[in-house]
Chain A
Amino acid sequence: MNRLLFLSLAVTSVLAQAQQCRARASWPTEKWPEALVNPTAKAAELKALEDYAFTLVGKPEERKGYRTNALVVVKNGAIVYEKYARGWDASGRQLSWSVAKSVSSTLAGVAVQQGLMNLDDSVCKHLPEYADDPVVCAIAVKHFLTFGSGLQWQEEYEDKGYQVSSVIAMLFGVGHKDQVRHVLTHRKLREPGTQFVYSTGDAHVVGALAKKALTAKHGPDAFWTQLFEPIGMKNVVFEEDLAGSPLGGSFVYATARDFAKLGYLMLNDGCWNDQRLLPVGWVQRATTPSETFRANRGDCSGATLPANEFQLPCEGTPNGYMWWLNRPPADGVEKPWKDAPDDTYAALGHWGQRIIVIPSEDLVIARNGDDREGSIPVNELVKLVLPLVRP
């Protein structure tokens, strides 16, 4: 009997610890504390970082190189480095591009934490206007959250021409007025959850699902009252289409300091100021390669398909719940960011938008830019920031 009681108490204690939030001396809800690195002691490290991230090349209209707008580094809960360029300052809202996908994922987590949505829910539970469509209703929330809807999608930009891009048609073309409908009326190509297909469309649906779930209880400003405001993201803009669906794969705007707060929420296991905003275990699952990714990460055979066929890229960076992970994508394959710690994960967007989180370093890096030639590599950025913030 005593043994049973002891076991029961031990289990209860472990569960309580799992649900507890990490203690912090302060939370940056109103303002980030600052503990800037010593510019003299770290002169060489600062120069190396700034030469890499802030040196403009060519004429502005040529849009060459890494064109950083903002770089904010948060270590142990305080800003240790911050710099702006190209006419930007701390108050400027930056375009997220696909960092929005990680924002949408987090909003879905808030809905799950509040019991308003379950990852196994059919999409049709939250979007009842599709209740007559058996293909859509067979897809669960978790499938969209892991880029595994199974619906046809061509995340093309310019390589094969604008007319074959599902995403450009959605944002600016035939699908722009009702973008969730554009996604959900694509035909089924695979069983849900069996193939990772990076899709701005899937992320749009996650945003729409989160909105439906949260606004039903909290009203139209639920994204702000339930996530952005509690963590001090004060000036977030989340754009919508004409049908009122959030454009959760592409169009969120916030300051670099505020994007760092989203990373800080993840770093703190979904807790903020002793309040749990994300479910216990959510961050762990969001930053572990998803079942969909592990099932099939694309065409890694090396074969080239004919030009009139769509070839899925072989994805070399694992993905959890719309967060990119520094894990080997398969046995015998190297992790994507070789100089970054294994526990590094990131929200990544077009033109070099980045929120990089490294729990083992208690570190968040938020970077916004306008890299038209190719986005600034995560590996190089981390490699240059680590010596700056380490003793």
Chain B
Amino acid sequence: MTKTLLTASLAAALLGTGCAQDDAKLRTYDNNDLELAVGNAAKMNCTCRFVMLRDEAYCADWVRASPNVARFAVDEANKTVVGTAFVSWTAKARYVDDKHGCVLE
């Protein structure tokens, strides 16, 4: 009985230790740099152009990130911005209204 209890306690202690170590582990997210870069380019350019009302040159510099791989295209008529990187990666942001600014789709 004592042996069983000791074993159970030891197991619990080890499990506890295991959890504590696991808790401290750095979590990683399923994003790659290109996906993040195009999302940033689309959203921040949309905001820069249609909320902050800055010009194209200002916004291009303001949004420039590292690595600087994302390109963007602004549709002034529809108030949308598409960010792209290496053809495969795209993201789109659109201006909603004068209270809610831009949303990343």
Contact = CB atoms under 8 A, between A and B. Distances in A.
A39 to B, nearest CB: 30
Contact of A253 (B36, B52, B105): B52
Interface stretch (B4-12, B22-30, B72-80): B22-30
A169 interface: yes
A90 to B, nearest CB: 13
B79 to A, nearest CB: 13
B104 A176 contact: yes
A168 interface: yes
Q: Is the contact region of chain A dominated by helix, strand, or loop, or is it mixed?
A: loop
Interface in A143-202: 152, 154, 158, 160, 162-166, 168-169, 171-176, 186, 189
A237 interface: yes
A171 B39 CA distance: 8
B103 interface: yes
A309 B24 contact: yes
Interface in A184-237: 186, 189, 221, 224, 235-237
B24 A305 contact: yes
Interface in B21-75: 23-33, 35-36, 39-40, 43, 47, 51-54, 58, 61-62, 66
Contacts of A154: 26-27
B53 A240 contact: no
B99 interface: yes
Instruction: Give the secondary structure class of B's interface.
Output: mixed
Contacts of A370: 62
Contact of B47 (A221, A241, A253, A308): A253
A162 B99 CA distance: 30
Interface of B: 23-33, 35-36, 39-40, 43, 47, 51-54, 58, 61-62, 66, 91, 96, 98-105
Given A93-B53, A172-B35, 5 more contacts: A172-B31, A237-B100, A238-B101, A239-B51, A239-B102
10 contacts: A92-B53, A154-B26, A158-B66, A186-B27, A224-B99, A237-B99, A239-B51, A242-B103, A309-B25, A310-B25
